[in-house]
Structure 1
Amino acid sequence: MRLAATKPAAIFIAKHHPVPKPRARAAAERAKKSRSDRAPWRIAVASSDAEADGEDDAEVVQAAPEKARGRRARLSARRRESVRLPDGVTGGDVGEFLRHPDAVVSLLNTGALESFSPAVGSAEPGTFTCALRRIGFLGFEVAPVLDLRVAPTSTDCTIEMLSCRFEGSESIEQQNELFSAFMSNRITWSDNGDEPCLDIDVSLEVTLEVYTKPFSMLPLSAVEKPGNLLMQGLLDRLVPMLGEQLLRDYNSWVQQHPEAS
């Protein structure tokens, strides 16, 4: 019997990871647990940061419109006028007229008003509420209302606008929060020299909120320059007319009060 030659047996040796010692195994478990414990904390911090960022963003979104509406255009104009008094009339004569209660009708130009009356609840004497005639604007009716104070003295007479507001629809009255105005008209008289005269000095200031496009996208000078020109043109036209009207009213007053002359 013949014996067949056999191939040598292949021997495979499995590679095993070293078995950790008890102390190493405990340390690994503690490290794993520590990482798992820190994960929720990291998530909580990230969530908290995100919420904080969200709150800041919300504040910015809410503050942005207020910042845009906070842009204020300041308009101003001033006009001085010197009116020569007629022969035989002195500055003191005109001053006496302006201190008389009848002069209020002339100083407030009540003929151009819808109504006027002493201001209700005002602690300051010589304060009047004046309603201008209603005007149409973009399909709305607007009634400007002014609170004016008349303060005559022995040397001058001052008319100040204490407040200005619009009355009308709700949308019109909401505009009162977006602007403010101030006006001062100081009238003095003098007998110096050969030509006694009446001096009128009017100042007008208006502050507007600029928040509508396209004006909100432009520099404030784009609103202020044309606004100043408009108001200056208004005063240049009205102040000389005021001086002439005062002299006419003075002549009428003297005719009604001969004792004053």
Structure 2
Amino acid sequence: MYASRRDACPFVLRLVTGDDGYTVTASNTASGWTLSSSSRLRNATLPVQLHLHQVQASHIVASANAKQANLSASRIQRVELPVYDDTSKGRQAYHISHFLSHPSGIQAILNTSALQNFQYLDTNAYRCTLPKLAFFNFEATPVLDLRVIPTKEDCTVELFSCKFKGSKVVERQNDYFSASMINHITWDTDISEPFLEVNVKLNLSLEIYTRPFTSLPISAVERPGNLMMQALVDGLVPSLLQQLVQDYNNWVHQQLQNS
């Protein structure tokens, strides 16, 4: 996320996901905040990429006096879930819970095909390195540590660390923000219309430590920030659901071919 001055007071905030992903822009005009978005989603991921900018030392205020903006967004959505029956044994075959606990399902949840690197950390914990971002004179690599806990009833994905790797200026930003995300995936296959449901909650805390934003009320950052984050989640969740169902279908057919 970055802010660019348009004149004495108004400014623009922009939130971007991926090189071919989803862009949300909030502009502060004389009539208030306006929100616009564009989407080229394909293999989009939930993790957020933040655009950073270098500031002069004279614009930095002491951390003890800095304000903190708390942003949040959430979305619950469900989609029709195919059920695969094993007619010879009279039961469901290759249940969605089997897929989400299988390595292929874990990779589908984390969308590893869109990552620069994917690393197993510990039981149910994974490190996801997103493609490098290049902007202005900086390069930054977002690194997300995620915990995936699949059970027979549900699957929970939790973000427990979000850092940027790059130059000292880039890595310095790690001291001024924190992020958390929980994606709770549930399903029901024992009803007439089986479904897969995703419940995503995303939170971001930003320390406001540069002028002129330190002189503005926190609401001047939180209001457009919340609008952008909600638009981001609203665009990404449907894509995630669609991709999960497609990957599940491909996995089932692969299992049938190998059996």
TM-score (norm 1): 0.69
Q: 2:65 aligns with which of 65, 68, 74?
A: 68
Could you tell me how far apart the structure 1 residues matched to 2:226 and 2:94 are? 35
Q: 1:80 aligns with which of 76, 80, 101?
A: 76
Partner of 1:57: none
SS of the equivalent of 1:73 reads strand
Instruction: Show structure 2 runs of 5+ residues with no match.
Output: 1-60, 86-91
Encode CA deviations 1:14-60: one digit per residue, 9 max, x unaligned.
Answer: xxxxxxxxxxxxxxxxxxxxxxxxxxxxxxxxxxxxxxxxxxxxxxx
Could you tell me how far apart the structure 2 residues matched to 1:255 and 1:88 are? 10
Encode CA deviations 1:154-194: one digit per residue, 9 max, x unaligned.
Answer: 10001111100000001100110110000111100013542
Partner of 1:24: none
In angstroms, what is the RMSD of aligned CA positions? 2.1
Could you tell me how far apart the structure 2 residues matched to 1:167 and 1:67 are? 25
> Does the aligned pair in 2 maintain the 1:83–1:197 contact within 8 Å?
yes
Could you tell me how far apart the structure 1 residues matched to 2:250 and 2:199 are? 24
Partner of 1:231: 229
Higher strand share: 2
Q: What one-letter code is carried by the residue in structure 2 that aligns with 1:187?
A: I
Q: What one-letter code is carried by the residue in structure 1 that aligns with 2:140?
A: V
Encode CA deviations 1:102-149: one digit per residue, 9 max, x unaligned.
Answer: 211101101111011112xx5xx1101110001122321110000011
Q: 1:260 to 1:107 in 2, by over 3 A?
A: farther
Higher helix share: 1
Partner of 1:168: 166
Structure 1: which 4+ aligned runs deviate by more than 4 Å?
87-92
Could you tell me how far apart the structure 2 residues matched to 1:126 and 1:87 are? 26
> Does the aligned pair in 2 maintain the 1:113–1:132 contact within 8 Å?
yes
Could you tell me how far apart the structure 2 residues matched to 1:91 and 1:131 are? 34
Could you tell me how far apart the structure 2 residues matched to 1:203 and 1:91 are? 31
> Does the aligned pair in 2 maintain the 1:91–1:189 contact within 8 Å?
no
SS of the equivalent of 1:86 reads coil
Q: What one-letter code is carried by the residue in structure 2 that aligns with 1:72?
A: Q
Please tell me whether residue 215 in structure 1 is matched to residue 196 in structure 2: no
Give the deviation of 1:78 after TM superposition: 0.2
Could you tell me how far apart the structure 2 residues matched to 1:251 and 1:99 are? 15
> Does the aligned pair in 2 maintain the 1:254–1:260 contact within 8 Å?
no
SS of the equivalent of 1:102 reads helix
Provide the identity percentage.
Answer: 47
Give the deviation of 1:214 after TM superposition: 1.6
TM-score (norm 2): 0.70
Could you tell me how far apart the structure 2 residues matched to 1:215 and 1:91 are? 56
Matched ranges for 1:128-207 at <5 A: 128-191=126-189, 193-207=191-205
Give the deviation of 1:92 after TM superposition: 7.7
